[in-house]
Amino acid sequence: MSYNFLSEDLLSKIAKDSGFLSNAGANFKDGEKLEFVFIAKNNGQDTLVLRDDSGDQYNVSLEDMGKYLTDDEYNALIQNNQVTDTEESKQTVATATNVELSGEAQALDSVDEVGTTEETSETQATTATGDSAQIQQEIDKLEAMRTANQESMTVLKEQIEDLKDKVEDSISLALEKMEEIEEEQKKQAEQIVSEELNRYKNAEGSMTQDEFQNNVSSRLSEINPSMSEALVHLLSADTNMALMSNLLGQLGQKVEIDKSYANQIDTKEQEYEAAKAAEEAAAAAKSCDPIGANFGDVELFDLDGDGEAGQMQIDFFYDEDGDGKINSLSDFVGAEADAAGGDGWSEMANMDGDGESGVADGKITGDELAANNVKVMVTEIDSDGTKSQRAMSIDEFKEQANIKDISIDAQKHDDIQQGVTGPFGFSDNENNQMLGTFDISLIKDENNPDSNISTTGYQTLDDESWLVENYSGNMDLESLGEQGVDVSGVVNQEPSNTAEFEDFLNKYNNEVMPELRGKIDDAYAQLGFGEDTLDLIKEYTEAEAELEGTRIANELAEKEQEAVLAAEEANSNVEEEPDLTDTPVADTPVDDEDAAVTDESLGDEQTPTGDEDDLFKELEDEV
């Protein structure tokens, strides 16, 4: 069952309920309103996630909803919001229902409004208007969320592999120490461990794990020091096994979330293609003018440093801020005039006379280009097809090409000359069009015209997607994306294959974990521990592993949220989302000190914790 929304009246009633206010604590201010965010799962049960005006979020279980509402209101909520179990409804709530809130400290994943029914309704409205830029923003956000989720998956995978090695080492060390223990001593050891475990359990948190281990070690050492060492190794192995199980569960949840993101992205991409096609049909595709020249094989540059100069092309672009990048497609010389319905060549022709001489003589020189903040984009293609591209100032170009000047005929040829070579990759099938040609020379010696390198340049009308594909290496793709240019083909990386993580889960759940469990149980049996003692040990190790697993889950969720917010900040057209980090949980508040587990508390073999400011990097470095 899924609950898609709550009426304002019901939300207002919850916000005033004394039970909710008591659970929410100081984070919820008097007079604030609540809004529904999404559905999550907590121990297999639906949990409503609500958000207040300050951006703080609260998890309210269905059981508590029954406390805040009358029986009629509660029944109406369930009946009115039940979704038919169809493929469409499954997809609509896929993201929300796949989120599992881990343990007592229910870490909020970075899955937010995207994917809920409310967001889907907005998307449908967007699609109807054919706004491909808005749909692309939604795709970008989903891909940022998926990438962040997969970073967490990678960290979890590496942590699990590291824990496996530590478990195996601990078992081996324990078995070595057992060779020095007599049978009678093993019976005494089991009694001591059982007694101390019961003391630890009955202390209900007032005894730390360090105190427990010290008590056990001290008593066992009096009998045989090797017993103390063997048990410490086994407890470490057992605790790390429990932590592995916890992290495998987290990884499994994230795999399901990853699948949901992939499905949503596929749907959005279909919407995008439909919207883009409609826009292109209406506007005949946005186009821009590059003006440049393809010199063919010329021994001037070796941009990739392989010792081989290849075919060379230059294109002229404005660089007002001097960063050497194309920050807008209107930076191509000619594009602005073209977009205004004029002839892009006028931008080049108007430079004649702008240099130091101030004389218009029918030739545009390097000095006149530089006076207009024009640079050249040099593209080289080697014989093996390797493409290299670099932006250069006019002076840098003249120096590296070992030429005296550039000379461009200010008069364009409107009659297209046959055999003129356009830009690399130019094709009429790419929505590109040759608009005109002109004469251009690279002057090596003013007194010896035969030494000059001359060719026929081009003025072309090119589809913006073609331009992005061919000049992306020297473009400010963030700025272009904000201007509505589709840069997804060169920006968005395809997330890694979910199957890799599924195979990993299957291997560990079906092979690695059972094998390690068997080895640990055999070691306990050799130590002489009975079933009752093992049950106490299991409670102890699982409780400690749960705390550490929750800490890892919370930190990964926080890091995912930071990554998503950073991606959204890069796009000024996307409304800033509220900060969901450090989110209070109304149902089960957890004290930070209780949730923190130090390295020492889990023994020498425990995986060390990372700095919260750089969690992904630190956890990856550990392994």
| Banded model confidence at residue 540, pLDDT cuts 50, 70, 90 | confident
- The closest of 237, 230, 231, 243 to 167, measured between CA atoms, is 237
Give me the residue label for tokens 């009678």: 184
pLDDT in tens, 551-605: 999 999 888 888 888 877 776 444 444 443 333 333 333 343 333 333 333 333 3
| Banded model confidence at residue 43, pLDDT cuts 50, 70, 90 | low
More confident of the two residues 618 and 180: 180
- E strand or H helix that includes residue 562: helix 531-569
| Banded model confidence at residue 76, pLDDT cuts 50, 70, 90 | low
More confident of the two residues 190 and 113: 190
In this predicted structure, what is the pLDDT of residue 494?
52
Lowest mean pLDDT among 165-179, 220-234, 463-477: 220-234
Which residues are CB-contacts of 391 (< 8 A; sequence separation ≥ 6)?
317, 319, 324, 325, 375, 376, 377, 378, 474
Q: How far apart are alpha carbons 58 and 32 in whole angstroms?
A: 13
In this predicted structure, what is the pLDDT of residue 122?
36
What percent of the chain lies above the pLDDT cut of 90?
A: 24
Lowest mean pLDDT among 67-81, 211-225, 427-441, 509-523: 67-81
Per-residue pLDDT, averaged over 132-152, amounts to 88
pLDDT in tens, 319-345: 999 999 999 999 999 998 888 888 999
**End-to-end distance of the chain based on CA atoms, in angstroms?**
41
In this predicted structure, what is the pLDDT of residue 37?
65
Q: How far apart are alpha carbons 425 and 470 in whole angstroms?
A: 8
Lowest mean pLDDT among 73-82, 407-416, 453-462, 611-620: 611-620
pLDDT in tens, 27-36: 788 778 888 7
pTM for the predicted model, two decimal places: 0.43
Per-residue pLDDT, averaged over 423-431, amounts to 76
Say if residue 221's pLDDT is above 50.
Answer: yes
Per-residue pLDDT, averaged over 97-114, amounts to 32
Say if residue 317's pLDDT is above 90.
Answer: yes
In this predicted structure, what is the pLDDT of residue 279?
65
pLDDT in tens, 266-282: 888 888 888 876 765 55
Which residues are CB-contacts of 103 (< 8 A; sequence separation ≥ 6)?
546, 549, 550, 553
Say if residue 229's pLDDT is above 70.
Answer: yes
pLDDT in tens, 489-505: 776 555 557 888 899 99
In this predicted structure, what is the pLDDT of residue 443?
94
In this predicted structure, what is the pLDDT of residue 91?
33
Say if residue 78's pLDDT is above 70.
Answer: no
Which residues are CB-contacts of 123 (< 8 A; sequence separation ≥ 6)?
135, 138, 268, 271
More confident of the two residues 16 and 369: 369
Could you say which DSSP state residue 69 is in?
A: S
Top mean pLDDT of 122-131, 200-209, 547-556, 603-612 is at 547-556
Mean pLDDT of the chain: 75
Q: How far apart are alpha carbons 207 and 381 in whole angstroms?
A: 70
Lowest mean pLDDT among 57-71, 287-301, 449-463: 57-71
CA atoms within 13 A on the CB side of 373: 11
